[in-house]
Amino acid sequence: MTEQFEYYKTIREQYVARGVGNGNLHVADTASGATIKDIEGNTFIDFAGAIGTLNVGHTHPEITKHLKEQLDKFIHPGFNVIMYESYLKLAQKLAEITPGNFAKKSILLNSGAEAVENAVKIARKYTGRQAVVSFVRGFHGRTNLTMSMTSKVRPYKYGFGPFAPEVYQAPYPNVSEKPNTLSNAEYVDQVIQKLHDFFIETVDPSEVACIVMEPVQGEGGFIIPDRKFVQAVKAICESNGIVFVADEIQNRFCKNR
Ligand SMILES: Cc1ncc(COP(=O)(O)O)c(C=O)c1O
């Protein structure tokens, strides 16, 4: 270990909160495409890509060029202070490339948790209802509301209560847990029945503002639900005036089934 690395390690321990962990304990210096070089000259293949947020890898020349041009114009006027072209054009582009031939609008936010929080606010205001339904083993973020909607307890919720009220977790199929006595189709039908029971036993659908679903669960174990289950969720939303919110991370942007 070099002296410089030891120096940064001391700073990390002394000044950075322990709540944020580091998957890799080295210190990045430069990055290009799929690789990162650290300050000691090691090269790593970056399988994380900032947890899936670097769609075209590190320092793509086209993106770097546009970022530099933008920095010369302005960094951040704040859209709620004054409009600017890139925000408007991105909203237009999203409307054009997302599925569905109907009017669409976007709000651009800083993080996944903030997007989920705002989706819940929009659904509550639109429906005039309070309850939020998410799914067992789901993950939706680290704020109080999204933590309440998350059902993976450790490490995300453990020791961080109390949680937000009016949040309920519905069953979600995971065929790897299916009893051997059932076929896949029988198991999925059973979970769909449990989902209908949930809306009798746990929360009345007329009080539900939104059902928030990861179309492919990530943190819960990379679980792809059966198409029939997703269709059952859709049908429940449609027949009860519930807003469907897709928290798309693992299934890639706009690849809802
Ligand atoms: C399904 C899902 N929702 C929400 C989030 C929260 O995103 P962020 O960490 O940007 O707040 C994540 C993060 O991995 C996620 O996987």
pLDDT one-digit tens code per residue, 127-151: 999 999 999 999 999 999 999 999 9
Q: 137 CB contacts (<8 Å, ≥6 apart)?
A: 151, 152, 172, 174, 217, 219, 220, 221, 223
- Ligand 1 atom index nearest CA of 116: 4
Q: What is the ipTM of this complex?
A: 0.98
pLDDT at 257: 44
Does residue 140 line the site of ligand 1, with CB under 6 A?
yes
Inform me whether the pLDDT recorded for 219 exceeds 80. Answer: yes
Does residue 112 line the site of ligand 1, with CB under 6 A?
yes
Whether residue 162 has a cis bond before it, omega within 30° of 0: yes
Across the chain, mean pLDDT equals 94
- Ligand 1 atom index nearest CA of 146: 4
Q: Give the model's confidence band at 253: pLDDT under 50 very low, under 70 low, under 90 confident, else very high.
A: low
Q: Tally Cβ neighbours within 10 Å of residue 233.
A: 21
Q: Tally Cβ neighbours within 10 Å of residue 145.
A: 18
Q: What domains are there in the chain, each with its CATH number?
A: 3-70 (3.90.1150.10), 74-105 (no CATH), 109-246 (3.40.640.10)
Q: How far apart are CA 234 and CA 246, in angstroms?
A: 11
Share of the chain above pLDDT 70, in %: 97
Q: Is the dihedral of CA 17, 20, 25, 31 positive or negative?
A: negative
Inform me whether the pLDDT recorded for 118 exceeds 80. Answer: yes
Inform me whether the pLDDT recorded for 57 exceeds 80. Answer: yes
Does residue 249 line the site of ligand 1, with CB under 6 A?
yes
